[in-house]
Amino acid sequence: MSARPAPQALLPWALSVLGVAASDSLPPLSVVAGDASQRRYFRFVHAARSYVAVEAPPATERNDAFLRVRALLADAGVKVPALLGADLRRGFLLLEDLGDRLLLPALDPAVVDGYYRHAFQVLAKIAAVDTGGTGLGAYDQALLHEELGRFLEWFVQGLLGYAPPAAEQSMVRDFFGQLIDSALEQPRVLVHRDFHSRNLMLFGHDELAVIDFQDAVVGPVTYDLVSLLRDCYIQWPAAQVLEWALAYRGVLRARGLLGDTGEALFLRWFDWMGLQRHIKVLGTFARLYLRDGKSAYLEDLPRVKHYVLEIVDKYATEAPAFAAFSAWFSLRLAPLIAQQDWSIKR
């Protein structure tokens, strides 16, 4: 939560969208838990109905993309917050209030299978969106490379304080190149880019709604799946994760979205896509702490590190670049990680 007050103009603007005349007796605003961005969310009640007013600074937030992707998803039958008003110049949005029931707290072994299979249906709707003419960016080589670059800059050098010599940086780049090649050979679909249990909300009779979708791009078919199943905020047994991954492969094939891709190739795509994501996340979470002062993300680094090493070691015997990265991580980074306050998983 931010201690900064809401912009004075936000609530009068939101009420004007609802057709309410300016008044000295404005309803109170309460802060809604936010995300990793500079957006801030405020709840208010008018005429017995709750709304969410958003301050999304246009200098830092992609509000035009938010509106474009929200419309695409809604048209595809994906539940997203209804848009009631937008002032892009000031970065004000008025949204339907979906409540506070994130999926994450509801997950336990007794119910997770049902929720995830429901999420597969949502993902399939997203994957089926026709992205032609949408103006969405591509999850291309440049973007994949930029994301992986956060690892060395923010995690290795920034957080751990280790400056790899040129030979080690070259080895890491060779390893990254294989991850990028694997991502680029996959079928291309609409990718939410952060599809996990903190961006899925429960509403009504345990239906799923999707939020935080403004960074969507056109990219690899396994990206959102691995974001969900190897969630940075909750972990499931490896065998169960693979079973779910193949179940989603079946959903894609039934909808004609995957072609004749075999199980082995699909699982390699899935694993290596997760590596790209989690290596990126190590850098991103370190950046959120070092640059933005958001220390809570450090608590999730041990889980993300586990995902990285689990998959690197899984393929080390068949891919020399993976073996080299694993050995380097153990020799150079593991001793430094062990000295960090966050290194013991909470």
Report pLDDT for 33. Answer: 72
What DSSP string describes 321-332?
Answer: HHHHHHHHIIII
Q: Where in the chain is the domain with CATH 3.90.1200.10?
A: 104-343
With 0-12 / 13-18 / 19 or more C-beta atoms within 10 angstroms meaning exposed / middle / buried, residue 109 is: exposed
Averaged pLDDT, groups of 10, the chain, 346 residues long: 71 93 81 75 94 93 93 97 96 95 97 98 97 94 97 98 98 98 97 97 94 95 98 98 98 94 98 98 98 95 98 97 98 97 76
Report pLDDT for 2. Answer: 45
Say how far apart CA 278 and CA 272 lie, in whole Å: 10
Angle between helix 112-127 and helix 238-254 axes, rounded to 10 deg = 40
Q: Which residue is it, tokens 């709707």?
A: 125
Q: Where in the chain is the domain with CATH 3.30.200.20?
A: 10-96
CATH 3.30.200.20 for the 10-96 domain, yes or no = yes
Report pLDDT for 270. Answer: 98
CB count in 10 Å sphere of residue 237: 9
What's the pTM?
A: 0.94
What SS3 class is residue 203?
strand
Say how far apart CA 324 and CA 24 lie, in whole Å: 66
Say how far apart CA 238 and CA 256 lie, in whole Å: 27
Q: Which superfamily does CATH assign the domain made up of 104-343 to?
A: Aminoglycoside phosphotransferase (APH), C-terminal lobe (3.90.1200.10)
What distances in angstroms separate CA 273 from CA 73, 127, 176, 230, one per listed residue? 23, 16, 11, 11
Report pLDDT for 1. Answer: 39
